[in-house]
Amino acid sequence: MAKLLEGKVAVVTGAGRGIGREEALLLAENGAKVVVNDPGVSYAGEGRESKVADEVVEEIKKMGGEAVANYDFVDSFEGAKRIIYTAIEKFGKIDILVNNAGILRDKMIFNMSEEDWDKIIAVHLKGTFNCSHHACVWWRQQAKEGRTVSGRIINTTSDAGLLGNIGQSNYGSAKAAIAAFTIILAEEMAKYNVTVNAIAPIARTRLTTDATPQLAAIFQMVENAPFDVLNPKSIAPLVVYLASDKSAGITGQVFRVVGNMIWLMSGWRSVAMRKKSKKEYWNPEELDDVVRDMLKNAPPKENMTEIMQEVLKEAQS
């Protein structure tokens, strides 16, 4: 019986550790040839250690799969091109791009440096654009030459961007932009038979333990629970599905995923509206009652505290 991704070629950025590693391993287990990209930086984006990508490549080879390492940085436009062309040159094509690479530099706005802001935006948002751009250029050229294209892009957003989270104005802004980028890119690439979706994963990784010590104790509690709902392995199955031909027609969507739970997310939409009976513009003095009435009657917003409570409840049930 053919595997789900038999004959496919995948690129996973930031695949040396955590969620990216699990994505690369499960993609390979399901038959894909994988480019394991990771320069081996710290959670803050410092240093370099090529062995983290090499070790995942060796794991894939030991299970009988095919993989090659790449150590380029996604925030470099030319580096991202090399990542994509590693797949094309080594395996002849690219079918799947998983934009997973990320770092954290959490600080309150008054403590955040320009570099802290720029680096997070560069790695997450620009990195997602860079890799997607080069893959989409190649897919478009293939389509122009009359070749069959069936591309898949899976981006990585976060509840920090979809819902907001204190101390993460840089990270949350990048992740919110990635969600918007996903929706727009899905529309742009539909004519070329390329689907674009995003996941908002919750899992125990360096970015949620080493970089955010306040979460470490909570995540440790879950690790020792009967069901490890925060194991990064739980993220990969959705990515494999979205990367497969079975997901045809599903595009421009954002999914939160953690443990045994998947949510379909819906972005900004109007939840209340007031219109003046007269055809005239609003007066600032009358707007206080109007705005407060809309807020009073609007459905409550989701927040990260509620989501984490639901995750903990599932782990302990």
Across the chain, which has 317 residues, the per-10-residue mean pLDDT values are 94 98 99 98 84 98 98 98 99 99 96 98 99 99 97 98 94 98 99 99 80 64 77 97 98 97 94 93 96 94 86 80
Q: Known catalytic residue: 171? A: yes
- Annotated catalytic residue, options 132, 158, 173, 244: 158
Q: What are phi and psi of 262, to 5 degrees?
A: -130, 130
Is 2.40.30.200 the CATH classification of the domain at 9-265?
no
Q: Known catalytic residue: 158? A: yes
What pLDDT is recorded for position 311?
84
**Which tokens in the block code for residue 221?**
């509690």
What pLDDT is recorded for position 188?
99
- Annotated catalytic residue, options 8, 81, 126, 175: 175
What pLDDT is recorded for position 223?
66
106: left (phi over 0), alpha (psi -120 to 50) or beta: beta
What pLDDT is recorded for position 211?
52
Of 246, 122, 215, 222, nearest in space to 174 by CA: 122
**Which tokens in the block code for residue 239?**
């990515």
- The Cα 24–Cα 29 span in angstroms is 9
| Other CB atoms within 10 A of residue 293 CB | 12
Strands annotated E in the chain: 9-13, 33-37, 67-70, 96-99, 151-156, 194-201, 254-258, 261-265
Residues 137, 190 contacting (CB under 8 angstroms): no
- The Cα 61–Cα 42 span in angstroms is 25
Instruction: Decide: helix, strand or coil at residue 211.
Output: coil
Q: What are phi and psi of 198, to 5 degrees?
A: -135, 150
Residue spans in the chain of domains classed CATH 3.40.50.720: 9-265
- The Cα 16–Cα 22 span in angstroms is 9
**Which tokens in the block code for residue 247?**
């997901």
- Annotated catalytic residue, options 33, 126, 171, 173: 171
Q: Known catalytic residue: 150? A: no
What pLDDT is recorded for position 221?
67
CA angle 214, 209, 12 (to 5 degrees): 145
Of 116, 139, 237, 230, nearest in space to 188 by CA: 139
Of 153, 228, 165, nearest in space to 198 by CA: 153
